[in-house]
Structure 1
């Protein structure tokens, strides 16, 4: 991941509505949520929420698939993984044992 891609992803997640939506999508992997379900969870109007989805999609954090008449939104787990690795890759001057508590916490969930 490049600095520019990381900045785009972090900027997309730096808004409460988008962060909440992305976290909801991560929780509902691999089936995803319909756009309508996300709108209902957000409490916003469809048009306002669509703008937030567009920002997440532009940042590469979101995948949309059409199922019948519904659009299903899914978190791009590969993009999330890339962002997390980008942030932690050079952690602790190469001393992996210092990151083990973080990895253990992620593994438990």
Structure 2
């Protein structure tokens, strides 16, 4: 992913940020508002690491995939589905309807 994905969806990334850097405070993230330089400076302060180390960690973190619940886009969603194929049994299609596994609207309480 690119930093603009994070910046454009800043609050949606709070959970992922807090998973990676548990020391961060949500109120501080609100103040940073997606500013990469401010974020690096803040992480360096709270983790007591050098800014260069934080930049390396951030670069590594950004090398991962955008969490599927962040961006709602057919191209991104289809890419995520294809990546999930490693968890689908052989002979099954990862794009198949999974209605038999969950609530797909045929709940009698929906009436």
What's the TM-score bracket when you normalise by the shorter of the two chains?
0.3 to 0.5
Q: Which has the higher contact order (CA 8 A, sep 6+)?
A: 1
Structure 1-normalised TM-score? 0.34
Q: Which has the higher strand share?
A: 1
Q: Which has the larger radius of gyration?
A: 2
**TM-score with structure 2 setting the length:** 0.33
